Amino acid sequence: MNGHSRAFKGIQKLRSPKSLGARCPRGLLAALRRLDKSTVERSMVGLLDGPQIDGLLARRDAIVHYFEERIASSGEDAVL
């Protein structure tokens, strides 16, 4: 088992959303918003299976949601 094996389990939830911190680089959040299933499937063919991809995307959705909520409550300048 390599050091990245936990990152690619089918787990759908973030373990500790608050560990993401208060700020996120604008470009990173934009890239996370653009990331879609077909892109991940093409990039990870033979490396990740369906449940692993679904878990990765569910956690991506949770990260985006976390920062969107922070933006809504604190404003873009405080978060990005």
Residue 56 structural domain: 23-79
pTM listed for this prediction: 0.83
Identify which of 72, 62, 68, 61 has the alpha carbon closest to the alpha carbon of residue 36.
61
**Coil, strand or helix at 25:** coil
Task: Classify residue 74: in a domain, yes or no.
Answer: yes
The structural domain count of the chain equals 1
pLDDT score, position 1: 42
With bands split at pLDDT 50, 70 and 90, how would you rate the model's confidence at 3? very low
Task: Classify residue 3: in a domain, yes or no.
Answer: no
The DSSP call for residue 71 is H
Other C-beta atoms lying within 10 Å of the C-beta of residue 74: 12
Task: Classify residue 17: in a domain, yes or no.
Answer: no
pLDDT score, position 8: 63
Reported as a single tens digit per residue, the pLDDT across 6-57 is 556 667 788 888 889 999 999 999 999 999 999 999 999 998 899 999 999 9
